[in-house]
Amino acid sequence: AVIGGGPAGLYFALLAKKVNPADEVLVAERNPPDATFGWGVVFSEETLGALRDADYETYNEIADNFARWNAIDIYYRDTKIRSRGHVFTGISRKVLLNILQRRCQALGVRIDFEREVTDINEFASADLIVGADGINGLVRRTHAELFKPQIAIHPTKYVWFGSDLPLDAFTFIFRRNDHGLFQVHAYPFDARTCTFIVECPEDVWRRAGLESASEAASIAYCQDLFEPELRGRRLMSNRSLWLNFATLRQESWHRGNVVVVGDAAHTAHFSIGSGTKLAMEDSIALVDALRRQHDLDAALNDYEMERQPAVERFQEAALESSSYFEHVSRYAGFDPRQFAFNLLTRSRRITYVNLTQRDPELVRTVDSWFSAAATGSPDGAMRLSPPPMFAPFRIGEFSLPNRVAIAAGHDLDAAARAGAGLVLTEFVSVTEDGRITPETPVIDRSYQGVLRRAAERIHQSGSQVGLQLGHAGRRGSMRPRSDGVDRPLLRGGWRLIAPSAIAYTPRAALPREMAARDIDHIVKVFAASAQAAVSCAVDVLELNLAHGYLLASFISPLTNHRSDEYGGALENRMRFPLQVVDAVRSAYPRPLMLRISASDWILGGVELDEAVEIARLLKAHGADLIHPVMGQTVWESRADYRRLFGVPASDRIRNEAGIPTLASGYVSTSDDVNTILAAGRADLCLLDL
C-alpha cells in the first residue's frame, strides 16, 4: 500500500507492479486525479538516465513533454548576465502526474483518488506500507518517535507562482525597492509557461505588507515589482501562499513494514531543484532493494543505507545554496560578473574548473575583471588574464605576488620553494612560558637570527614571509605533538596563565588567573615581539587569537569567567586582546593579520555571528586582514573538519565586516583557490599541501 499519489508514490507503485505483476499494489491519494499544487519540476541529465533505465515507457513520454535549456540568466543591478553549458529539463508537474497515473493504471495498479487516510492501520494487512505523503504526512508523524526527525525552518519567505512568461533559461532576478531585496527563481516547463518563485527576508516581507496580503494582493505586488522582466505577462496562483521552507532530516526511514520516500523522508531546499528528482530516485532504490533481498527488513535497510548518504550530499549542497539566498544582500556591492560567479558556485557542485568547461567565455570575463581590479588596470584592458590565484594582492603599499599562502612548519626554505605568495611560520611564542610544547620556538635573539636569514631567502625566491605570534596560555606545557595532541608534560613543565583558572583538559596543569600586572606584562611582551618582527624583515605579522590560546581564552565565554572589566559582555572579553592589538599595531607598521576563532564548535561558545562583530572590532583597531579558523577553544569541542570548512566564515567576515580575509580549512587544490577568490569569499587562501 502506498499513501500519497505524488511522483514518489506513483513511481514506486508502477515500478513495484512491473517487477512483480502478481502483487496487489494500491495507491491512496486524497486529491482528485487532475489536482496538483505547484507548477513545474526540474530534472538533471543524470536523473533522466535513471528514469530511462527504470521504466522506458514513462521515460519516453516524459521526454516528449520536456522543456530543455542550457543557460542561466542572472538579472542584477540593471545588468543581465547569461551563463551557458548548464543542461536542464523541466516538465509540468500536472503532466508528469498524469503520465505516471496512466502508466500505473496500464500495469494494474489500483489508485484510490480522494481517499483521506487517517490511520495507517487501515492497511494493517499490507506486506509493505510506503509513506509518500510529504513532510507533514501521516506516515512520518505516526512514527516520529522512531524516525527521529529534525526539522530546520529557513528564515526567508517564499511564494510559488506560475507565469505565462516564455523563458529559454533558468532565471534569477534580484530587485531592491523601498522595502528591501527580493529575488526570483524562475524556470520554464513548457513553451508557454514557467515557474516563478519569489523569495525575500521575513523583515522585508513584513515591511512590504505581505504578511496580511491576500493571494491577489501578493500577485499584484510581485507583478508590479518584476514588471520589467515579466514584460506585460501575468503571474498565476495555485494556492500560492507565503511559506518558510523546512529542511527535514531523519535518523531512520523505516520501521517494521513501514518505509518513507521523497519529502516524507527528507527535503532539500528548492534553490537546487532536486525535490522530485530525489523522490523518484528513492522509489527506484526501494524497488531495487526489494528485488535484491527476499527478507523485508534487509531490503529496507539496504534502501536506507544506499539512499541516505546520497540524499545527505544533496542536502548539504542545498543548505549551501539556501544560505546564499538567505544572505545574498551581503554581496550587494559586488561587480555583476563576480556576483554571477558567486551565485553559480554557491552550492560547491560547480567550481572554477567545472564552470570553465561549461562556459569558458564567462570565466575569461571574470578573470579579466579580477586581474584588472587587482592591478588597478582599466576594466576590460586585460582580455587574456591569469586565474585569480595568480593575481597580486595589495594592502596599501604592500603587495603579494599571488594569492596563495602556505604554512611553513619547521622548514621555511622548503616552503619558500613552493611558489606561494605568502609563507607563514609556525606558531612562535612571545615568551618562554607562552610555548605550547618544549619544541615551540620563542622569538628570542637566536630565533630572530634564524628568521632574518630565512626571510632573506624567501624574498629571493619572490615570496613574502609572515610571522605567526602567540601565547599558548592554558594550552601550554604540553608534550610534543609527535607524542599526541594536548598531552601534558610529565616533568619539566612551566607555570601557565589564563583569564580564569580552568585547565585545558582534565589532566592538564591548572593555570593561574591573570592579574592586572600580568595583563600589562603580556601587552608589553607582544609589542616588543612586534618590534623584533620589523627588524627581521617580516612582511606580514599574524597574531593568534584562536585555537584556545591565551588571547582566544579571553574572547570565549567558555574560558573567560571573570567578573571584572575583562569578563562578561563581548566588549569586556575583547578588552585585553584589543590592548595587545593596539600595542602591536603601534610597533608594527606593516600588514597585520589576526587569526580568530570563528566558531568554538560547542554550545555556549563563540559563534559566527559574534565572530563577525569581533572582526569589526579588530578592523577598527587597525587589523588589515582576518584569518578565521574553527574549534579547539575547549578540548571537548566537536570538530567538523570537512573539505573547505573554514570558507563560509571567511565569506561572512569578508563581506559583512568589510575586511580582507585569508580562507583556510582543507583548501587543497588550485580549483578550490580560484573558486573561493573569484566568488569573493576570501582575498587569500591557505593551501594545504
Q: How far is CA 508 from CA 417, 493, 602, in A?
A: 38, 11, 20
Neighbours of 660 (CB within 10 A): 21
Q: Are residues 311 and 333 in the same domain?
A: yes
Q: Is 201 within the bounds of a domain?
A: no
Same domain, 380 and 396: no
d(CA 135, CA 128): 20
318 and 382 fall within a common domain:
no
Residues 395 and 426 in one domain: yes
Distance CA 25, CA 117 (A): 16
Q: Which helix (H) or strand (E) holds 14?
A: helix 7-19
Q: Would you state the pLDDT for residue 347?
A: 86
Average pLDDT of the segment spanning 222-244: 95
- Beta carbons of 126 and 1 less than 8 angstroms apart: yes
| Domain end point (choices 335, 367, 386) | 386
> Looking at residue 289, which CATH number applies to its domain?
3.50.50.60
- In this structure, the answer to whether residues 380 and 481 fall within a common structural domain is no
| Domain total in the chain | 3
In this predicted structure, which of 20-24, 104-108, 379-383 has the lowest mean pLDDT? 379-383
Q: Give yes or no: residues 434 and 562 share one domain.
A: yes
> Considering the chain, what is the average pLDDT of its residues?
95
Residue 119 in grid coordinates: 490511520
By the 10 Å C-beta count (0-12 exposed, 13-18 middle, 19+ buried), 288 is classed as middle
Q: Pick the last residue of a domain from 346, 373, 396.
A: 346
Q: Are residues 366 and 317 in the same domain?
A: no
| Mean pLDDT value of segment 176-187 | 97
289 vs 293: CA distance, rounded Å: 6
Q: Which residues constitute the domain of residue 376? A: 351-386
Contact indicator for 644, 348 with CB cutoff of 8 Å: yes
Q: How far apart are CA 218 and CA 214, in angstroms?
A: 6
The three grid cell numbers given for residue 630, joined into one nine-digit string: 574553527
Residue 169, in any domain of the structure: no
pLDDT at residue 36 above 80? no
Is residue 517 one of the residues assigned to a domain?
yes
pLDDT single digits (tens) 627-681: 999 999 999 988 888 899 999 999 999 999 999 999 999 999 999 999 999 999 9
Domain co-membership, 30 together with 142? yes
CA separation for the pair 33, 94 (Å, rounded): 9
pLDDT value at position 288?
Answer: 98
- Given pLDDT bands bounded at 50, 70 and 90, which one contains residue 500? very high
Nearest to 435 by CA among 473, 484, 465, 381: 473
- The percent of residues in the chain predicted with pLDDT above 90, rounded, is 91
CB 653 within 8 A of CB 659: yes
Domain of 553, CATH number, reads 3.20.20.70
| pLDDT at residue 380, as a whole number | 76
pTM of this structure: 0.92
Quick one: 488 and 575 in the same domain?
yes
Q: Is residue 326 part of a domain?
A: yes
Q: Are residues 360 and 278 in the same domain?
A: no
Confirm whether 413 is domain-assigned. Answer: yes
Q: Supply the pLDDT for residue 397.
A: 83
| 380, 441: one domain | no
Residue 170 domain flag:
no
With bands split at pLDDT 50, 70 and 90, how would you rate the model's confidence at 46? confident
> How do 2-3 and 129-131 pair as beta strands?
parallel
Q: What was the pLDDT predicted at 206? A: 98
Tell me which residue has cell 569581533: 614
Last-in-domain residue among 367, 386, 405: 386
Q: Can you tell me the mean pLDDT for 367-395?
A: 91
- Asked whether residue 63 is assigned to any structural domain, the reply reads no
In a domain, residue 283? The reply is yes
The pLDDT of residue 323 is 93
What's the whole-number mean pLDDT along residues 527-537? 97
Q: Do 537 and 648 sit in the same domain of this protein?
A: yes
pLDDT computed for residue 44 by the predictor: 78
